[in-house]
Structure 1
Amino acid sequence: MPPSADVCVLLPTLNESATIADVIRAYQEAGFSNILVVDGGSGDGTRELAHEAGAAVITQSGEGKGQAIREAVEAIEADYVLMADADMTYRAEDAERMLEPLLVGDFEHVIGNRFADMEPGAMTKLNRIGNRLINRGFQFIHGEDYRDILSGYRAFRTDSFERLTLSADGFGIETEMAVECAKNGVKTEVVPITYRERPDGSATNLHPIKDGGIIFLELYRKAKTSNPLFYFGSVGLLSTASGLALAAFVIFRWVRYNIGHEIVAVGATAAILFGVQLLMFGVLADLILSLHHEQLTRIDRLEADTTPEPTTAGSDSTAAESADSSRSPPRNAE
């Protein structure tokens, strides 16, 4: 890592007294002096231990990991941010690998892929299945394969973070960041990292069922502006299928037993009409989004074509001398 790199290590915390000091020391030994702990109101002395270990500490004004990260990044003046959890599951030794695409390449956002080297016991089977489903859903909806969108080990340029429209307060922040990167064309790289088991005495703040449901809802909600055909079409398809099933039931009962179900028939018709309208709206919204992307591409091309190429002072003086000589008459013309 270049010694001139302006990097801030960001550690969101909530009752991490068992590990916070060790995490801070690990990053200090890795060469990082700018370490910021944003605490969510811990009651176990996390803030005091972090301050004693040499980190800057702020207490977030709101609640949730997402709100903490947004508030912390606003206070960071460094050019680059390395974000990690404070529970010892991520290694400080992987920091250089995380930052390399930003410092050496032209990437703006880096995601650490935990599945590349996951130690036994680091993730429960239920969490592993949930992560796989969410990643597959993200790839299907947003068309990008980031491999591990729920990873808490991130590195990004501070100016690129400002381009992301983030509103999630809890653990949905990682999903929202991945969606916004795909939506806004933020150049994102995925690097392999090691994911370790939480040490004894360190309790997780993640609730698999509750937070998993929030993450799925966040993934679906964000599809409204990035993949409207899926967002509206999925509900429209479900409504149409339900209406057709009810209609088939009404027709069967009427033909077989000569029994009418007028109310059910009205409901089936309404469901079919509603579903078809949503499908049509999804197609139109997807068409508008495609045209919008084409217009943005054309604007970028026009800006690139009209941007003048920089010229050196030597070439300018040479061009001026050439112009002057072309205007002056030859010596033997007299």
Structure 2
Amino acid sequence: MSLPRITIVIPCLNERNTLPFVLEKCLSIQKANKMKYELEILVSDNGSNDGSQEFAKSLGVRVEHCETKGYGAALDSGIKNAKGDIIIFADADDTYDFLEAPKLIDKILETKCDMVIGSRLDGDIHKGAMPFLHRYLGTPVINWIINRLYAKNFKIRDSNSGFRCFKKQKYLEWDVKSKGMEFASEMLIKALQHDSKMEHVPVSLYPDKPGRTPHLKTWRDGMRHLLRILFYAPYFFQKLGLTILLVSFSQLMYGLFSGGISEVFGFRIYGIHSLVLLSFASLIGLSIWSVGLQIATRQSKTYGVYAKILNWNEDRLFFVLLFGFSAMTLLFLYLIWKWKQNDYLFLNFERELIVTSTTGLLIFLFGINALTAHILKRE
């Protein structure tokens, strides 16, 4: 019976000072476990000019060059070039302890799951290893968003962990596209979307070696994570936007026909100021919904209202736009006519003005966003 084939993939960009510690650990694991599995060590170099490549080769370690810049690009290249059926990766900066790699490998072999995540938050985070904002704000918030949008039966406990073990074939099915640090989030999202079986294993995290400049940029990379997470969630914008729009606009219409101010739980509502706020909320709701529509144009698979709009043929799109802009024009002319009734001196129909102008703006914004989506779809 053949032994499982494992590849350790190490993304590297100018890590000559820390690479010796990492490779020494990897080689010791390779030697200690040669009866359990075939272990390949692969350094995916992202353009080092400090001697990292030469040092790795001097130890007999395989080095593959990745021309596309970025953490995710280096990992993707290394994974695709790996000979192993199971991949395990961690950074070349020695902040993750590669001597803990067998825990992740044993877990995936025992449970036959698709991916094992090394959870720093469940393990031992050494003093100075993780900044306060990363530990108590960044990672927990990203955990919550990913779990809220994508998780069903499995909850992610450390979304930013850079220590993971997984089946190569599953990774290829996930089709991860990110080239930067957001690779970590997209990989989890794709695994969750494919209902992949995952497990956690506690791991340690150590501080950077003295003098090393981290590649991670807190706010830039944090925003990249958030944007990538939201990119795969157009229906979050659909649900949230429609909820705000329908609630606000229905209350706006009620305020028009209710005839005056009402008192609810001590609050006086449905006056002019309340209607203005409901108008703003309606426009905000449609704007949020429209964000999801634009995102949906970039997705390979859409459903629900977005799919129906994006599947309109040119005839239907034309007549929808014609009807919408005609209705908006008629509403505008109605306001002019009402104004003319007062010899263009003043407006004494504030409620109608707010509701009519809001309705016209909603129709206009819907039409413009539907048109934009179809223009973008032509790509």
> Is TM > 0.5 for Structure 1 vs Structure 2?
yes
* Counterpart residue number, 1:121: 128
* Counterpart residue number, 2:205: 195
* Counterpart residue number, 1:14: 13
Q: For residues 223 and 203 of structure 1, do their structure 2 counterparts lie closer, same or farther at Cα, with a shift above 3 Å needed?
A: same
Superposition pairs of residues 269-308 of structure 1, within 5 angstroms: 271=284, 285=304
Residue number among 186, 197, 204 corresponding to 2:196 in the alignment: 186
Q: Which runs of 5+ in 1 are unaligned?
A: 289-334
Structure 1 range deviating more: 15-24 or 238-247: 238-247
Write out per-residue CA displacement over residues 85-128 of structure 1, whole angstroms, 9 at most, x where no aligned residue: 11111112211110112212221111100112211110001111
Superposition pairs of residues 70-219 of structure 1, within 5 angstroms: 70-116=76-122, 117-128=124-135, 129-143=137-151, 144-219=154-229
Q: Could you tell me how far apart the structure 2 residues matched to 1:75 and 1:202 are? A: 28
Q: Could you tell me how far apart the structure 2 residues matched to 1:80 and 1:65 are? A: 20
Checking the alignment, whether the CA contact within 8 Å between 1:172 and 1:214 is kept in structure 2 is yes
Structure 1 range deviating more: 179-188 or 42-51: 42-51
Write out per-residue CA displacement over residues 37-79 of structure 1, whole angstroms, 9 at most, x where no aligned residue: 1111122222122222331111102111112222222211211
Q: For residues 274 and 34 of structure 1, do their structure 2 counterparts lie closer, same or farther at Cα, with a shift above 3 Å needed?
A: closer
Residue number among 72, 89, 98 corresponding to 1:66 in the alignment: 72
Structure 1 range deviating more: 108-117 or 237-246: 237-246
Q: Could you tell me how far apart the structure 2 residues matched to 1:132 and 1:106 are? A: 28
Q: TM-score, length-normalised on structure 2?
A: 0.63
Q: For residues 45 and 240 of structure 1, do their structure 2 counterparts lie closer, same or farther at Cα, with a shift above 3 Å needed?
A: farther
Q: Could you tell me how far apart the structure 2 residues matched to 1:212 and 1:25 are? A: 32
Deviation at 1:176, TM superposition (A): 0.5
* Counterpart residue number, 1:312: none
Checking the alignment, whether the CA contact within 8 Å between 1:240 and 1:274 is kept in structure 2 is no
* Counterpart residue number, 2:376: none
Q: Could you tell me how far apart the structure 2 residues matched to 1:244 and 1:89 are? A: 55
Checking the alignment, whether the CA contact within 8 Å between 2:126 and 2:204 is kept in structure 1 is yes
Percent sequence identity is 24
Question: Which one-letter code corresponds to 1:232 in the other structure?
Answer: Q
Q: For residues 163 and 242 of structure 1, do their structure 2 counterparts lie closer, same or farther at Cα, with a shift above 3 Å needed?
A: same
Q: Could you tell me how far apart the structure 2 residues matched to 1:271 and 1:89 are? A: 44
Q: For residues 237 and 202 of structure 1, do their structure 2 counterparts lie closer, same or farther at Cα, with a shift above 3 Å needed?
A: farther
Q: For residues 246 and 279 of structure 1, do their structure 2 counterparts lie closer, same or farther at Cα, with a shift above 3 Å needed?
A: farther
* Counterpart residue number, 2:4: 5
Q: Could you tell me how far apart the structure 1 residues matched to 2:184 and 2:216 are? A: 13
Q: For residues 132 and 268 of structure 1, do their structure 2 counterparts lie closer, same or farther at Cα, with a shift above 3 Å needed?
A: closer
Secondary structure of 1:38's match?
strand
Question: Which one-letter code corresponds to 2:99 in the other structure?
Answer: E
Checking the alignment, whether the CA contact within 8 Å between 1:18 and 1:201 is kept in structure 2 is no
Q: TM-score, length-normalised on structure 1?
A: 0.71
Q: Could you tell me how far apart the structure 2 residues matched to 1:268 and 1:191 are? A: 45
Q: For residues 176 and 276 of structure 1, do their structure 2 counterparts lie closer, same or farther at Cα, with a shift above 3 Å needed?
A: closer
Q: For residues 113 and 15 of structure 1, do their structure 2 counterparts lie closer, same or farther at Cα, with a shift above 3 Å needed?
A: same
Q: Could you tell me how far apart the structure 2 residues matched to 1:43 and 1:277 are? A: 46
Write out per-residue CA displacement over residues 195-222 of structure 1, whole angstroms, 9 at most, x where no aligned residue: 1111112221000000000001111112
Deviation at 1:138, TM superposition (A): 1.1
Q: Could you tell me how far apart the structure 2 residues matched to 1:171 and 1:277 are? A: 28
Q: Which runs of 5+ in 2 are unaligned?
A: 32-38, 262-269, 297-302, 308-379
* Alignment length (residue pairs): 275
Write out per-residue CA displacement over residues 257-306 of structure 1, whole angstroms, 9 at most, x where no aligned residue: 9xx99xx99877655666688999x9x73999xxxxxxxxxxxxxxxxxx
Q: For residues 49 and 107 of structure 1, do their structure 2 counterparts lie closer, same or farther at Cα, with a shift above 3 Å needed?
A: same
